[in-house]
């Protein structure tokens, strides 16, 4: 867990005697929500005899959780994020043989209904360790419609001793029926000084620049700094790309470039530090419109029919300086 989220963890610890059956941990990408949720899970499953020393990191429960094999914990994520490969669709659980289609297809970017339905048997069983049973769902907004409906049934009639922890970057994309059945815990951006101090401790180069590009989110800033050479090329000369990863990087860069150009047109300092450029005030509206369009495209960036054509259209529509 990251140091700026310690107060939220202590708030959670203070209410262990009145835990909700479902918790929605939400905030901007890159503020450490998932690490916070994992720390909460460790606290709940720790078996140390002294509650004040939980999570201890040394008991059997903590060791199993760290190894990813705790019998009272399930983690639900899209295949593209999952640490462990999911069972192939239509195959027997535990089968070691994967079909050729399963080996070659792209990992899913959504949480599917089969994954959520799989929680039902787990949550309705007795605890193996005599404690709670916990399901962590991340990112919760990546559930498809059927998966969200299946989860809603579990939230409406939660099994005794079961806790759902949903982690979300964009909670507004979750159905209102799900949000209303969760206790929300908002995780804000950390103070700039705290974020920069942490980035310095991680030996991140040009930390202030990348923290600005990340909108103040330290974990994203560290990721951006790690691919600084690639991002510098994209920011200096946006060009056509041919893959999903390139589309995600390009649409984000184009939106941030447009916002910075609009700020410059209004005589304001760029927010994301994408590069200096004198922009006439009369061009502000064009850049704002382009930024809004990029915002819409970022929602579609994972599913372009043709990445090359998709990126060509975006780059070709850049407002003229």
166 located within any domain = yes
Quick: pLDDT tens for 116-141: 998 888 887 777 776 889 999 999 99
Residue appearing with tokens 């780059």:
315
Q: What angle in degrees, to the nearest 10, is found between the helix axes of 60-67 and 33-45?
A: 140
Residue 108 CA: distances (Å) to CA of 29, 85, 311: 20, 11, 22
Q: Indicate if the pLDDT at residue 314 is higher than 80.
A: yes
28 located within any domain = yes
291 located within any domain = yes
Distance separating alpha carbons of residues 202 and 166, to the nearest angstrom: 28
Distance separating alpha carbons of residues 163 and 16, to the nearest angstrom: 12
Q: For residues 30 and 162, state if they share a domain.
A: yes
Distance separating alpha carbons of residues 232 and 209, to the nearest angstrom: 12
DSSP conformation class of 186 = E
Quick: pLDDT tens for 54-101: 999 999 999 999 998 899 999 999 987 875 443 433 333 344 344 444
DSSP conformation class of 165 = E
Look at residue 91 in the predicted model and tell me its pLDDT: 38
Which parts of the chain are beta strand (E)?
A: 22-26, 73-76, 133-137, 162-168, 183-186
Quick: pLDDT tens for 15-61: 888 889 999 999 999 999 999 999 999 999 999 999 889 999 999 99
Look at residue 144 in the predicted model and tell me its pLDDT: 92
Q: For residues 126 and 235, state if they share a domain.
A: no
Q: For residues 178 and 233, state if they share a domain.
A: no
59 located within any domain = yes
191 located within any domain = no
Q: Indicate if the pLDDT at residue 275 is higher than 70.
A: yes
Distance separating alpha carbons of residues 277 and 267, to the nearest angstrom: 11
193 located within any domain = no
299 vs 187, higher pLDDT:
187
Quick: pLDDT tens for 153-186: 889 988 888 999 999 999 999 999 999 999 999 9
Q: For residues 156 and 260, state if they share a domain.
A: no
Q: For residues 120 and 19, state if they share a domain.
A: yes
DSSP conformation class of 146 = H
Q: How many domains, in total, are found in the chain?
A: 2
Look at residue 143 in the predicted model and tell me its pLDDT: 94
User: If you average pLDDT over residues 293-301, what whole number do you get?
Assistant: 81
Of the three residues 137, 162, 186, the one that is the final residue of a domain is 186
DSSP conformation class of 143 = B
Quick: pLDDT tens for 205-233: 999 999 999 999 999 999 999 999 999 99
Q: What angle do CA 281, 239, 312 make, to 5 degrees?
A: 90
Q: Which residues pair with 186 in a beta bridge?
A: 26
Reported confidence tier of residue 102, pLDDT bands at 50, 70, 90: very low
3-state SS, residue 85? coil
Q: Indicate if the pLDDT at residue 304 is higher than 80.
A: no
Q: For residues 270 and 146, state if they share a domain.
A: no
Q: For residues 30 and 175, state if they share a domain.
A: yes
What is the domain range of residue 162?
A: 3-186
Quick: pLDDT tens for 187-208: 999 999 999 999 999 999 999 9
């Amino acid at each position: 867990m990251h140091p700026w989220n310690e107060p939220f963890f202590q708030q959670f610890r203070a209410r262990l005697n009145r835990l909700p059956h479902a918790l929605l941990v939400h905030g901007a990408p890159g503020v450490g929500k998932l690490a916070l949720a994992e720390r909460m899970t460790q606290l709940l499953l720790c078996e140390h005899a002294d509650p004040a020393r939980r999570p201890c990191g040394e008991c059997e429960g903590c060791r199993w959780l760290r190894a990813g094999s705790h019998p009272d914990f399930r983690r639900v994520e899209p295949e593209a994020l999952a640490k462990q490969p999911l069972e192939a669709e239509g195959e027997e659980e535990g089968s070691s043989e994967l079909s050729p289609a399963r080996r070659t297809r792209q990992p899913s970017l959504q949480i599917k209904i089969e994954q959520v339905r799989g929680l039902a048997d787990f949550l309705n069983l007795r605890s193996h360790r005599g404690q709670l049973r916990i399901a962590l769902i991340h990112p919760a907004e990546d559930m498809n419609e059927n998966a969200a409906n299946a989860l809603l049934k579990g939230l409406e009639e939660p099994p005794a001793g079961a806790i759902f922890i949903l982690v979300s970057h964009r909670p507004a994309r979750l159905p209102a029926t799900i949000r209303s059945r969760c206790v929300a815990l908002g995780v804000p951006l950390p103070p700039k000084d705290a974020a920069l101090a942490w980035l310095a401790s991680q030996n991140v180069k040009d930390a202030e620049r990348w923290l600005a590009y990340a909108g103040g989110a330290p974990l994203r800033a560290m990721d951006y700094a790690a691919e600084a050479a690639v991002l510098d090329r994209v920011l200096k000369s946006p060009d056509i790309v041919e893959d999903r990863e390139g589309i995600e990087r390009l649409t984000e860069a184009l939106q941030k470039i447009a916002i910075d150009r609009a700020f410059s047109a209004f005589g304001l300092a760029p927010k994301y530090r994408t590069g200096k450029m004198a922009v006439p005030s009369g061009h502000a509206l064009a850049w704002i419109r382009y930024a809004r369009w990029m915002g819409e495209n970022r929602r579609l960036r994972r599913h372009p029919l043709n990445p090359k054509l998709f990126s060509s259209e975006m780059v070709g529509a850049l407002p003229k300086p």
